[in-house]
Structure 1
Amino acid sequence: MDIFKNKNFTWMFLGRILTNVGDSLYAVAAMWLVYDLGGSTFYTGLAGFLSIIPRLIQFFSGPLVDRLPIRPILIYTQLLQAILLLIVPLASYLNFLSISLVLIITPILTSLNMFVYPAQMAALPKFLKEKDLTKGNSLFTIAYQGIEITSNAISGILIVLIGAISIYVVDAVAFLLGAYIFSLIRMPIEKNVNPQKSIRLEQSIVSKYISELLDGLKIIIFTPLSRLLYGVIIINLAMGATFVVLPAFGSDKGGPEIYGLLLMAQALGSLLGALITPYLKLDNIPIGLLYANAFTLSGLAWGLSIFAPWNWLTIVIYGLAWIPGGVTNIVINTVIQKGIPEKLLGRVFSATISISGIASPLGGLVGGIFGVLVGSGYIILFSGLMVLLVGVIWFLDSVTRNLPSAIEIDHSTFGTSSISGYSKSL
């Protein structure tokens, strides 16, 4: 592909692959290790809830991503994650590994990663022309989902063969390699800001920081696009609840292999959605209707998956539920990158991901608690019904139905030409 002739994009792409290996493997290993040490969905729910801390950090990371050099962010976050990962096998070797230690380290690891995704997405427009953004986003998503498929496919097997502890060592190596790859990136030189317009550090640095955070919030909350955000919050509640009971559900169905296959199906569905998106010509479809159709179908498959009489059919139907999410992820990233000025992308991506994603830990806590009471299968069923309900509401809501298509969106769509004091009524 011509896009890979761009060396910066190529290094970013390869670095993303390596860090996604680490992310995917330790996410599975940590959740299984917590369930294995604690023996209850309560602890997996607690582990999911603790990830609310990284979401808050990501919200506040936006202005930092916009201000700090992207290359050092990518390098040092990978190095720190590698060091932290090695604490778990060391603790196991020295016989002081506990569920508390895993619960403490996991959100710290995820917090460091919260800087990486906004930095990568904010860097793409610096490397690519606007016409290549959809392709670049698609490749990034494919890389993420492809690695997740591979990692989830083998994670259950690795847990059986070498144990969850050894996976942490593999993860550390992946992060170290990722740091090296990111070190090869050469960011484009930007024009120096006029010194007379620079803000003195000793004057109102806190108010400036808060102002920039609010800028990102204004763009995503005070526009009709927020209708999608509110629905995504509910969907993420369902995702969080499902994720924390999946180890128990997989264990009931056969063990870590089934758990890994369910995660593989989830990633495969998202990957398939990302792969087909460039060929579906969705730029002309109103994004509100696209989301409504996508998640109505997703919710149906999600909830019905637990009623399948065979494990293989449960895995297939559950995987189909994630295809719509793979499609909409590509579309919404392109929408934001086209509609938001480059200098605001870091804070907008951070605010968007944080606000929509903060529901997932809350859903995880609720799902973990009720999973003890009613069983993991019912939590997955109720989660699917919640997603279905969101899709139906989007269909019924006139504001959502009238949202423009991706091809119609530019900077004026979000009112970013005069972001200061921006307040567009819903």
Structure 2
Amino acid sequence: MLKNQNFKYLWLGRLVSNAGDSIYYMVLSWYILQITKDSFWVGLINFAIFIPNVFSFVFGHWIDRGRKKKALMLLETGQLVSVAMMALTIGLGVTSPILLAILAFLAASFGMNTYAIQDALMPKIVARKDLPSAQRYMSFAYNGTEYLFNAVTGFLIQLFSTVTLLLMNVVSFIGAIVSFWKLEDVEKKESLKQEDEGSFKTNLFKGFSEIWRNRAILLIVSCGGLANFLFGGLNVYQVLIADEQGSAIILGLLTSSMAIGTLIGSTVGAALFARFMSLGKTLTLATSLYGVCIVISGFYAHSVGIIVGLGIANLFLGITHVVQKPFFQVLVPEKHLGKVFTAAASSGVAALPAGSLFFGIFSDYISSSYFLYLFGAIYLMIGIIYWKNKAIFQFHL
């Protein structure tokens, strides 16, 4: 894939940009906790970073109508300026958590649609048959750097000052801008003046209507929203599982195990499955096997066996991450990809905090084991839904 120069620069840009994202999220949360000694401000920072994604769909029309190379460079520049202002603010000794929350909101607002733009650009620079392979590389750029830097940031915080680490982020954004700048502007060769599709106002919810119109895409997005609701609950229960076992080390091992499983699944696992079956059958089987493994993990929720169980389960989760995107890139008209990707992101993101809130309230009544049984059973049901839908199960490139 890296012989394709456009894809290489797109992938490298995402790789270094994600490294920057991963560092500043954690560094800022840690810094806020140190200066305020109040977890409320940590929650506020995370809210400020999360909330822009709910409104991702608003920008879908502009993504489809504009030049995606320029959009990527503009958004990376916005992130660069926002993080540079954080470094300047802290360097000058201004310890205002409100100001830092505002800057975090700005950085997240610029960064929220970079994934959608890249996914919408992919069919223009990669042959249809190579989309799954391209997605494996992008999944490593998305997940690999995040897991790696989440793991090492704790050590970096001990070695470097907050300002130094934020300036490292600025350098990573500069690297991403340079990489995106080297992309060939493929859209110059096409007419960006497609038939008049109406104003921004009439296209505001076009992504949702396109999802509704395509039954296969609607099922994937709907099931993805349900899955995110459950993952919101899993964020709560993994802390409870560690607490039940009386050690924060269990929490670290759980998150590391799941991260490693997802990374292996999205690279080696996805490539292995691609040799033997179509994308539709891979999505169906991987989804079902993830559900089965989660159910089995429920039997070990009160022992260290849960670490191995969730790690194995996430091998199959990583595979589903890779094979879902080509469904959108093939079944959705290219002129609507930006709208659909942003609408899907808005729908999915909103379910995460809802799940965390719901299971946070009812965790006193639902044990860790029963939550995992429920989680796995619902995922298995999603696999059956995919199997019953011919457009999904029989999908291939």
Cα drift, residue 146 of structure 1: 2.1
For 1:387 and 1:177, the matched residues in 2 are separated by: 40
Residue deviations 1:21-70 (CA, integer Å, cap 9, x gap): 01222233344445555656655555444455322331112221111111
Residue deviations 1:107-159 (CA, integer Å, cap 9, x gap): 33222112210111111111111111111111111222221232122112112
User: Where does residue 403 of structure 1 map in the other structure?
Assistant: 389
Give the counterpart of 1:348 among 340, 355, 360. 340
Residue deviations 1:218-252 (CA, integer Å, cap 9, x gap): 246xx255344333223323434555897999898
3-state DSSP of counterpart to 1:96: coil
For 2:99 and 2:143, the matched residues in 1 are separated by: 29
Residue deviations 1:74-123 (CA, integer Å, cap 9, x gap): 11111111221133333333333244344333333222112210111111
Aligned: 1:279 with 2:261: no
Aligned: 1:217 with 2:211: yes
Q: Closer, same or farther in 2 for the Cα pair 1:355/1:121, shift >3 Å?
A: same
Q: Closer, same or farther in 2 for the Cα pair 1:192/1:224, shift >3 Å?
A: closer
Letter in 1 for 2:174: L
Q: Closer, same or farther in 2 for the Cα pair 1:72/1:206, shift >3 Å?
A: closer
For 1:299 and 1:406, the matched residues in 2 are separated by: 24
Cα drift, residue 210 of structure 1: 2.8
Moved more, 151-160 or 172-181: 151-160
Once the two structures are superposed, the pairs formed by residues 6-155 of structure 1 within 5 Å of their partners are 6-36=4-34, 44-155=42-153
Aligned: 1:308 with 2:278: no
For 2:20 and 2:166, the matched residues in 1 are separated by: 8
Q: Closer, same or farther in 2 for the Cα pair 1:125/1:370, shift >3 Å?
A: same
For 1:180 and 1:23, the matched residues in 2 are separated by: 17
User: Where does residue 418 of structure 1 map in the other structure?
Assistant: none
Q: Closer, same or farther in 2 for the Cα pair 1:294/1:347, shift >3 Å?
A: same
Letter in 2 for 1:295: G
Letter in 2 for 1:106: A
For 1:97 and 1:7, the matched residues in 2 are separated by: 44
For 1:135 and 1:326, the matched residues in 2 are separated by: 14
User: Where does residue 205 of structure 1 map in the other structure?
Assistant: 199
CA contact (8 A) 1:92 1:165 kept: yes
User: Where does residue 289 of structure 2 map in the other structure?
Assistant: 293
Q: Closer, same or farther in 2 for the Cα pair 1:239/1:27, shift >3 Å?
A: farther
Q: Closer, same or farther in 2 for the Cα pair 1:124/1:358, shift >3 Å?
A: same
For 2:37 and 2:367, the matched residues in 1 are separated by: 17
CA contact (8 A) 1:238 1:386 kept: no
For 1:382 and 1:73, the matched residues in 2 are separated by: 45
Cα drift, residue 214 of structure 1: 4.1
For 1:42 and 1:300, the matched residues in 2 are separated by: 36
For 1:124 and 1:386, the matched residues in 2 are separated by: 36
User: Where does residue 191 of structure 1 map in the other structure?
Assistant: 190
Normalised by the length of structure 1, the TM-score is 0.77
Letter in 2 for 1:191: E
Cα drift, residue 389 of structure 1: 3.8
Give the counterpart of 1:334 among 320, 326, 329. 326
Moved more, 384-393 or 333-342: 384-393
For 1:282 and 1:164, the matched residues in 2 are separated by: 48
User: Where does residue 381 of structure 2 map in the other structure?
Assistant: 393
Cα drift, residue 331 of structure 1: 1.2
For 1:93 and 1:330, the matched residues in 2 are separated by: 40
For 2:231 and 2:46, the matched residues in 1 are separated by: 11
Residue deviations 1:182-223 (CA, integer Å, cap 9, x gap): 11111223333679x547xxxx52443236334333246xx2
Letter in 2 for 1:297: C
Letter in 1 for 2:350: I
User: Where does residue 266 of structure 1 map in the other structure?
Assistant: 258
Normalised by the length of structure 2, the TM-score is 0.82
Q: Matched residues, percent identical?
A: 22
Q: Closer, same or farther in 2 for the Cα pair 1:74/1:235, shift >3 Å?
A: same
User: Where does residue 171 of structure 2 map in the other structure?
Assistant: 173
Q: Closer, same or farther in 2 for the Cα pair 1:111/1:320, shift >3 Å?
A: farther
CA contact (8 A) 1:286 1:402 kept: no
List runs of 5+ in structure 1 lacking aligned partners. Answer: 412-426
CA contact (8 A) 1:150 1:264 kept: no
